[in-house]
Amino acid sequence: MNVQNKVIVVTGGGSGMGRELVLLLLKKGSQVAAVDINPDTLKETLELAGDKKDKVSAHVLDITNKEAVFALPEKVISRHGAVDGIINNAGIIQPFVRVNNLEFDAIERVLNINLYGVIYMTKAFLPHLLKRPEGHIINISSMGGFLPVPGQTIYGASKGAVKLFTEGLNSELLDSNVRVTVVFPGALATNIAANSGVGIGMEQDAESSSTPTTPADKAAEIIVDGIEKDSYRVLVGSDAKLMDFLVRLNPKVAAKFIYKQMASLLPD
């Protein structure tokens, strides 16, 4: 789907990769509905839109609130006239601890945002996308959605669920006008750890990470290119591409490799 002159909803549009997606889509001629729970960062995104500010709308929203999510399509359509695509980008990581030490409130928060938020958004917008000449759903999974990362097991489970949810949705919509893409970012130079309220994770703060990361703006370019090519799956970063290959070659070896990389970071 060519994004020019399309109306696209982006969750997590207040910062990181979500913000870069909003700005890139505007640059390429889209209208954008930017969604975020943080009104301050969302306002910053609008200011960064500059002379394209009239093409973007801001929606302060908690994607775990099903009623609020289901009220969103009407607001977007009222402002922009239609909706052609959604990018389910909003997500958080978990505290970097083993499952045995992870509290249920943290487990539920990760699952509610990373999985149920995607499901709510999809259910709310899909009926409208099916009415358009063409539509697109993009769900952001993670390298942790196909590769087990110790200390991020619940996060990985949520992103693995997003992977299969997206692939199943793609199959259900093969004979429709709506295309579906799943995205697997590796380590990104974003502030997801701070936004998640934790200190460390697969995607680390750009300021504190010594691990090679993909810049958020480059990740946005790769994702939008995937939209325009109607890609089935998109890998973001050389690390995601390498581990995708290794998992296919020998999943047990891949799991042990990541364990050795991350084990020293796990608290006893």
Domain range summary for the chain, segments of one domain joined by +:
7-265
Torsion of CA 64, 59, 40, 220, to 10 degrees: 80
Say if residue 53's pLDDT is above 80.
Answer: yes
**Higher local confidence (pLDDT), 200 or 267:** 267
pLDDT band at 34 (very low <50, low <70, confident <90, very high): very high
pLDDT band at 62 (very low <50, low <70, confident <90, very high): very high
Report the Cα 115 to chain-centroid distance in Å.
11
Q: Using one digit for the tens of pLDDT, what is the confidence trace for 232-266?
A: 999 999 999 999 999 999 999 999 999 998 887 88
Return the active site residues. 155
pLDDT band at 95 (very low <50, low <70, confident <90, very high): very high
Give the mean pLDDT of 128-153: 97
- What's the chain's average pLDDT? 92
pTM beyond 0.85, yes or no = yes
Residue 205 in contact with residue 193, Cβ under 8 Å?
Answer: yes
Say if residue 5's pLDDT is above 70.
Answer: yes
> Tell me, what's the pLDDT at 212?
75
pLDDT band at 197 (very low <50, low <70, confident <90, very high): low
Distance (Å, whole) CA 195 – CA 207: 14
Whole-number Cα distances in Å, 71 to 65, 123, 129, 178, 190 = 10, 12, 15, 21, 29
Say which residues have a Cβ less than 8 Å from residue 27's Cβ, sequence separation at least 6.
52
Neighbours of 171 (CB within 10 A): 9
Say if residue 143's pLDDT is above 90.
Answer: yes
Task: Quickly name the fold that domain 7-265 has.
Answer: Rossmann fold (3.40.50)
Say if residue 123's pLDDT is above 50.
Answer: yes
- Nearest CA to 153 among 241, 244, 262, 65? 262
Largest CA distance in the chain: 55
Can you name the residues that pair with 7 across neighbouring β-strands?
Answer: 31
